[in-house]
């Protein structure tokens, strides 16, 4: 670390991977949460949250998530979400509202691949219309996606999915293809904590 009166500087090659990760997740905030539902080849439902998530392309409409390696107790493995997407070529990204926060946290637990995580989280699956993967019925917005590509990137895998269908709760829809953000209270990820959106504002252009 270098410092002067104006800045503190960290060089990537001089700090640990974990410390660099902490600097990134504390700086790139707030991040939306992709609550990803998938299904295994054996029909087991999986549900897991990911905060490395954004829009990748407007045409074709494409969303991106980045999936890291298995947690410490499953070191050397890949997460069930990635396995399922690779095998079935389909997934759903459910948006997380503030009332769904505790259910989302329950689904983040490290459990056996045979556990139905919809049941673990206490949420209801809603059958897909364009994919075989169910959405979370309680989610204000859900995107059904077909796999575009999986890109290995260092320790992680970038997953690109083409949007096939969007489900929106009427309470979250403002009409004219706009979303009523204050109504559905999106939950955002910070560095280990969470936040909701305060009253939106605009700048004059």
Per the prediction, the chain carries an average pLDDT of: 92
Both tokens assigned to 72: 């410490």
- Evaluate if residue 158 carries a pLDDT over 90: yes
Give 34's contacts (C-beta < 8 A, 6+ positions apart): 49, 50, 51, 53, 63, 65, 93, 94, 95
- Digit-coded pLDDT (tens) for 74-114: 566 789 999 999 999 999 999 999 999 999 999 998 888 88
173-175/178-179 β-pairing: antiparallel
Give the C-alpha separation, 64 to 137, whole Å: 22
- Digit-coded pLDDT (tens) for 169-203: 999 999 999 999 888 999 999 988 999 887 778 89
Domains of the chain: 33-188 (2.30.110.10)
Question: Do the Cβ atoms of 102 and 49 come closer than 8 Å?
Answer: no
Both tokens assigned to 69: 């390696």
């Amino acid at each position: 670390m270098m410092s002067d009166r104006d800045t503190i500087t960290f060089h990537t090659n001089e700090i640990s991977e974990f410390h660099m990760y902490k600097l990134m997740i504390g700086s790139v905030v707030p991040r939306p949460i992709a609550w990803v539902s998938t299904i295994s080849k054996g029909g087991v439902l999986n549900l897991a949250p990911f905060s490395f998530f954004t829009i990748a392309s407007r045409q074709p409409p494409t969303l991106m998530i980045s999936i890291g390696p298995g947690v410490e107790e499953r070191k050397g493995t890949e997460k069930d979400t990635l396995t399922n997407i690779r095998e079935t070529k389909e997934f759903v990204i459910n948006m997380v509202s503030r009332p769904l926060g505790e259910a989302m946290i329950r689904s983040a637990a490290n459990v056996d691949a045979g556990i139905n995580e919809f049941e673990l989280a206490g949420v209801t699956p809603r059958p897909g219309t364009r994919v075989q993967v169910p959405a979370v019925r309680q989610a204000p917005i859900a995107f059904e996606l077909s796999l575009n590509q999986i890109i290995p990137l260092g320790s992680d895998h970038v997953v690109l999915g083409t949007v096939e269908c969007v489900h929106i709760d009427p309470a979250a829809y403002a009409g004219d293809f706009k979303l009523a953000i204050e109504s559905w209270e999106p939950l955002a990820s910070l560095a280990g904590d969470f936040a909701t959106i305060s009253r939106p504002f605009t700048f004059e252009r």
